[in-house]
């Protein structure tokens, strides 16, 4: 794997010495360049927990991926640059569960980066924070009209997001126990095969922008603005879906 190729993929030209500002720039550059997508699941392409596979898919094939792929690749790149990185496991909150609550552990992968302080880093959760979050419970960290906060309840840390309407919602909870990549294998397989996985239900391809986000979700095209306004429209047909994937995300749809 070549670090220069990864940095070129995300358009990063900043300093390479580990530091808070460089970490912030890397985090944002990754999110603005690499889409969060589950197309491999929809297209029947197996996803394995392997850094080389993630590199070739995301960097050389110019694709995106979900949390295990994106945060796995980001962890590798940060370590290559001299950062101290630990992999953490999270359980994702869902209001759709009967009743609402947290899913299983290892359903999400995130990272902790240690500089003078500890930072939570996550480039694989879709619509979430753009800047690394200082791991300081109770601190509100603003991003435009949204805010994020990490609460602590016993051994758990809970990521909270203040939405555009001012309401705080839970996103996921995690502990600071370092995890190995292999510990995520069962949930990685679950997300690819289970009818209860959100990733087997419909295609998703979404990319952050400085002024919002663009998303292909099933047969809908969504343009989100940084103030919370969204424009939805239904796609005309699969030809338009293929065109959007190529023109907006640089992704070629495989031939049937």
The residue count for the chain: 256
Q: Is 90 exposed, middle or buried (0-12, 13-18, 19+ CB in 10 A)?
A: buried
Q: What is the pLDDT of residues 92-141, one digit of tens each?
A: 998 776 678 899 999 999 999 999 999 999 999 999 999 999 999 999 99
Q: Which residues contact 209 (CB under 8 A, 6 or more apart)?
A: 32
Q: Which residues contact 237 (CB under 8 A, 6 or more apart)?
A: none
Q: What pLDDT band is residue 184 in, cutting at 50, 70 and 90?
A: very high
Q: What is the pLDDT of residues 212-249, one digit of tens each?
A: 999 999 999 999 988 888 899 999 999 999 999 999 99
Distance of CA 57 to the CA centre of its chain: 15
Residues annotated as catalytic (active site), given as ranges: 67, 108, 122
Residue 182 to residue 49: CA distance in whole angstroms: 7
Residue holding tokens 């030809």? 239
Q: Where are the domains of the chain?
A: 3-249
Is 18 in contact with 117 (CB distance < 8 Å)?
Answer: no
Count of beta carbons in the 10 Å neighbourhood of residue 254: 9
CATH topology of domain 3-249: Arylamine N-acetyltransferase fold (3.30.2140)
Distance of CA 117 to the CA centre of its chain: 22
Instruction: Give pLDDT, residue 127.
Output: 93
Q: What is the pLDDT of residues 62-100, one digit of tens each?
A: 999 999 999 999 999 999 999 999 999 999 998 776 678
Q: Rounded to two decimals, what is the model's pTM?
A: 0.95
């Amino acid at each position: 794997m070549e670090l220069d190729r990864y940095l070129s993929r995300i358009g990063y030209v900043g300093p390479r010495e580990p530091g808070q500002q460089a970490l912030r720039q890397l985090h944002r550059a990754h999110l603005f360049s690499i889409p969060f997508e589950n197309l491999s699941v929809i297209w029947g392409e197996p996803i394995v927990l392997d850094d080389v596979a993630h590199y070739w898919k995301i960097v050389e094939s110019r694709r995106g991926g979900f949390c295990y792929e994106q945060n796995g690749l980001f962890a590798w790149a940060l370590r290559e640059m001299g950062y101290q990185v630990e992999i953490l496991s999270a359980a994702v909150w869902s209001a759709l569960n009967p009743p609402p609550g947290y899913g299983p552990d290892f359903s999400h992968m995130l990272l902790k980066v240690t500089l003078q302080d500890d930072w939570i880093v996550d480039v694989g959760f879709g619509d979430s924070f753009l800047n690394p979050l200082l791991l300081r419970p109770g601190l509100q960290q603003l991003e435009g009209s949204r805010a994020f906060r990490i609460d602590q309840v016993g051994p758990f840390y809970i990521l909270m997001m203040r939405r555009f309407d001012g309401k705080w919602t839970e996103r996921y909870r995690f502990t600071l126990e370092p995890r190995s990549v292999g510990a995520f294998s069962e949930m990685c397989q679950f997300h690819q095969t289970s009818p209860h996985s959100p990733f087997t239900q419909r295609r998703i391809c979404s990319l952050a922008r400085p002024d919002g986000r663009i998303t292909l979700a099933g047969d809908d095209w969504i343009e989100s603005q940084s103030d919370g306004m969204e424009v939805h429209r239904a796609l005309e047909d699969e030809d338009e879906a293929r065109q959007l994937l190529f023109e907006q995300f640089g992704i070629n749809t495989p031939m049937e």
